[in-house]
Amino acid sequence: MNSTTLATPSTATSDARPVHGRRRRSPGWFLISPSVTLLLIWMLVPLAMTVYFSVIRYNLLYPGERGFVGLENFHYFLTDAGFIPGMTNTLILVGGVLLISVVLGVLISALLEAAEFPGRGLVRVMLISPFFIMPTVSALIWKNLIFHPVSGVLAALWKFFGAQPVDWLAQHPMASIVIIVAWQWLPFAILILMTAMQSLDQEQKEAARLDGAGPLAIFWHLTLPHLARPIAVVVMIEMIFLLSVFAEIFTTTSGGPGYASTNLAYLIYTQALLQFDVGMASAGGLIAVVIANIAAILLVRMLGKNLTEKH
Amino acid sequence: MLTLKQSRRLNTLLVGGVSWIVALLLFFPIFWMVLTSFKTEIDAFATPPQLFFTPTLENYLHIQDRSGYFRFAWNSVVISFGATALGMLFAIPAAYSMAFFETKRTKGTLLWMLSTKMLPPVGVLVPIYLLAKQFGLLDTRTVLVIIYTLINLPIMVWMIYTYFRDIPRDILEAARMDGATTLQEMVKVLLPISKGGLASTMLLSLILCWNEAFWSLNLTSANAAPLTALIASYSSPEGLFWAKLSAVSTLACAPILIFGWISQKQLVRGLSFGAVK
């Protein structure tokens, strides 16, 4: 780059690149700016406000007191009784659901591709259906009809085998929530992986078989490498949603008992809208943003190339 | 020793059997929800749970006067369609520009758009809540339309971009030679060719809006609450009407389930940002 281009004001840069025909100016910049502007505002304004609120004392219950408090809110948030359980539960939820949906997702979609059998279309439809159920519905259906310790389906099953019915959401709140959320997201993994698997070269598979490779060897050396990219996609998309699971906790356990099923998202919600502590909730929100960004930077780096490549 | 044919058949039987069992297990909660919606409240709460019972339409017939279903459903419809239409209005030009007037910044912009999705909603819950309150937008459909447009915009741009990218440039060149303006080119050439892709983008946006349950629970109460919020209201202890809950849930989920079944293939493309087709 030489000094003349450096001196050029930014408005002239689009004219300076006469690549797309000289007949008229490229409409590219003009057409994309509304979306970019909107997203910039959406990203920056609330985030700037969150940063500002996080360093002042701001509680909606005491409107008079507002002053700069430095990092006090962060200190309070990080030492709050709910912080460690909140972090742990977020990790359990994200890790647990990712593990279940990727492992079972690969196995189930491989199973469906293993042979043509009667009713495969219907099986596919049934397998992906839970993904389309809204979170509040799936949470309440599981809570009332499946997990309920008296008239739930699992209670009946336990009694049938002579065991004491379990009050799932009270005794194993986090495991129960992982099951509910995994039930919603496993179908997503199946949907993506099943489609990806269909593009696997059948001739290659047949050739491997003729060379004497067993089904396990084919799965390990052929199918799994082919799935690397779709699996990465599943992990990325699910991560975005799993970091902020809210409705499922809100409608089932309300984060309890105690903090047993409070994740970071729910903890911030309780501080903001139940305790009205805007300052502390904002500090928590920023911490959530930082965590999400660490995950995001890693993932976007990993996936960025894959996604924009033409293929 | 089995012959090849026999072992093939055994294989099919085994694969089919296990697949069916897994599918039935995963589908069971939905099946049970639909079944419960035809029970009386007493049957719904019976121990052990009843598989056979006298079905009743009671829950569906009284869905309006018991929970005001249609007001919530209407809110869901207005919000989902509003946000989808608005999103398309912004996403189509952006995707068009990225697909056909690629610069060295295009890739970066696409990834940046994707990264805005990484911003967890709780990170901005407080300011959005306060801003909505400030502008008198709390508990209005407008605020949800705006937010849903913004949260789905990156996905819509990406999805339309992957469809546009596959269109041969010659077609557009030809139109341009005939003297078409940018707007004409978009409306008369591009939209007709890509209407399948645009339809599935809209479908995906509708599904995501319909099922969104963070902002709808936090920003609405009585007036603008969509179906997700109506159903959440059944979580309170005084709302233990399972048959009724099941009927409302079945009605709320049915349209989206059917949309999803019809468009599975296209949804994969949108949900994976074009990486899986």
- Mean pLDDT of chain A, nearest integer: 81
User: What CATH number is associated with residue B79?
Assistant: 1.10.3720.10
pLDDT at A40 over 70: yes
Residue-level pLDDT at B238: 52
Does residue B53 belong to any structural domain of this protein?
no
Evaluate if residue A1 carries a pLDDT over 50: no
What is the pLDDT confidence band of residue A20, given thresholds at 50, 70 and 90? very low
Chain A residues whose beta carbon lies within 8 Å of the beta carbon of residue B30: 129-130, 133, 141
Q: At A277, phi and psi to the nearest 5?
A: -90, 90
Interface size, chain A vs chain B, as Cβ–Cβ contacts under 8 Å: 323
Residues of A in contact with B124 (CB under 8 A): 46-47, 49-50, 285
Q: How does residue A12 score in pLDDT terms, banded at 50, 70 and 90?
A: very low
CB nearest B30 (choices: A49, A133, A188):
A133
Pick B253's closest partner by Cβ from A137, A159, A195.
A137
Is the per-residue pLDDT at A126 higher than 90? yes
**A1, A53, A106, A126, best to mutate vs chain B, most B CBs in 10 Å:** A126
Please say if the pLDDT value at position A47 is more than 90: no
The answer to which of A35-44, A62-71, A295-304 has the lowest mean pLDDT is A295-304
Please tell me the distance from the alpha carbon of residue B44 to that of residue B249, in angstroms, as a whole number. Answer: 14
Instruction: Decide if pLDDT at B2 tops 70.
Output: no
Cα–Cα distance list, B204 to B15, B84, B269, B274 (Å): 32, 9, 10, 13
Segment A103-130 mean pLDDT? 90
At A310 the pLDDT is: 45
pLDDT given for residue A304 in this prediction: 59
Mutation target for B interface from A35, A125, A267: give the one with most B CBs within 10 A: A35
What pLDDT shows up at residue A274? Answer: 79
Closest C-alpha among A222, A235, A248 to residue A306: A235
* Residue A113, pLDDT above cutoff 50: yes
ipTM: 0.87
Give contacts of A140 with chain B, Cβ < 8 Å: 231-232, 234-235, 245, 249
Distance from the B29 Cα atom to the nearest Cα atom in chain A, whole angstroms: 7
Average pLDDT over residues A146-164: 86
**Among B96, B120, B176, beta carbon nearest to A288:** B120
Chain B residue numbers touching A244 (CB-CB < 8 A): 120-122, 214
Q: pLDDT digits over B102-118, tens only?
A: 787 888 888 888 778 77
Which two three-digit tokens encode residue B275?
């990486």
User: In which band, very low, low, confident or very high, does the pLDDT at A9 lie, cut at 50, 70 and 90?
Assistant: very low
Q: Which of A184, A149, A151 is nearest to A165 (CA)?
A: A149
Query: A28: nearest CA in chain B?
Result: B97
More confident residue, A142 or B222: A142
What is the model's pLDDT at position B1? 58
Compute the nearest-CA separation of A117 from chain B (Å). Answer: 5
Which of helix, strand or coil describes residue A59? strand
Work out the pLDDT band at A88, boundaries 50, 70, 90.
very high
> Is residue B75 over pLDDT 50?
yes
What pLDDT digit, counting tens, does each position of A174-195 carry? 999 999 999 999 999 999 998 8
In a domain, B9, yes or no: no
Confidence of residue A71 (pLDDT cuts 50, 70, 90): confident
Range of the structural domain that residue B94 is part of: 60-271
CA A291 to chain B, closest CA, distance in angstroms equals 9
In a domain, B185, yes or no: yes
**CB–CB contact A188 B228 (8 Å):** no
Asked if A190 and A128 count as a contact pair (C-beta separation under 8 A), the reply is yes
The arithmetic mean of pLDDT across residues B28-35, rounded, is: 93
Does position A143 have pLDDT exceeding 80, yes or no?
A: yes
> How far from each other are the two terminal CA atoms of chain A, in whole angstroms?
32
> Is the pLDDT confidence value at B84 over 90?
yes
Structure tokens at B202: 């809209």
Query: CB neighbours of A106 closer than 8 A, spacing ≥ 6?
Result: A189, A193, A224, A227, A231
From residue B28, give the alpha-carbon distance in Å to each of A130, A146, B76, B247: 10, 10, 26, 16
pLDDT tens for each residue of A251-289 = 888 887 888 888 888 988 888 877 788 888 888 888 888
Class of domain A72-308: mainly alpha
CB contact at 8 A, A241 and A263? no
Q: Is the pLDDT score of B244 beyond 80?
A: yes
B165, A156: Cβ pair inside 8 Å?
A: no
B92 close to A15: Cβ distance less than 8 angstroms: no
pLDDT on residue A222 = 82
- Tell me if A35 and B94 make a contact (CB, 8 A cut-off): yes
Cβ neighbours of B17 (radius 10 Å): 11
Instruction: Provide the shortest C-alpha distance from residue A100 to chain B (in Å).
Output: 13
Helix (H, G, I), strand (E, B) or coil at A309: coil
Contact A145 B227 (CB under 8 A): no
Give A73 to chain B, closest Cα distance, Å: 14
Whole-angstrom distance, CA of residue B67 vs CA of residue B74: 13
Give the E-state strand segments of chain A in sequence order: none
* pLDDT at A75 > cutoff 80: yes
Q: How far is B187 from chain A (nearest CA, A)?
A: 14
Q: How many domains would you assign to chain B?
A: 1
CATH 1.10.3720.10 domain residues, chain A:
72-308
Contact B256 A132 (CB under 8 A): yes
In this complex, the residue of A134, A303, A306 whose CB is nearest that of residue B213 is: A134
Chain center to CA of B240: 28
> Is the peptide bond prior to A27 cis by the omega test (within 30 degrees of 0)?
no
pLDDT at A127: 93
Kindly determine whether residue B231 and residue A27, on different chains, have CB atoms separated by under 8 Å: no
A34–B90 C-beta distance less than 8 A: yes
What distance in Å separates residue A253's CA from the closest CA in chain B? Answer: 10
Count, in order, helices (H) and strands (E) of chain A.
Answer: 16, 0
The reported pLDDT for the residue numbered B237 is 63
* Most trustworthy range by pLDDT among B99-113, B201-215, B253-267: B201-215
- Segment B18-28 mean pLDDT: 94
pLDDT band at B135 (very low <50, low <70, confident <90, very high): very high
Report in angstroms the alpha-carbon separations of A259 from A15, A81, A95, A267: 59, 8, 19, 9
Q: Is B272 helix (H, G, I), strand (E, B) or coil?
A: coil
pLDDT value of residue A106: 93
Q: Is residue B95 included in any domain, yes or no?
A: yes
Interchain proximity B107–A135, CB inside 8 Å: no
Which residues, at least 6 apart from A15, have a Cβ–Cβ distance to it below 8 Å?
A: A25
CB contact under 8 A, A153 and B277: no
pTM of the model: 0.85
Q: Give the rounded percent of residues in chain B with a pLDDT score beyond 70.
A: 97
What's the confidence (pLDDT) of residue B239? 55
Instruction: Return d(Cα B267, Cα B277) in angstroms, integer.
Output: 9
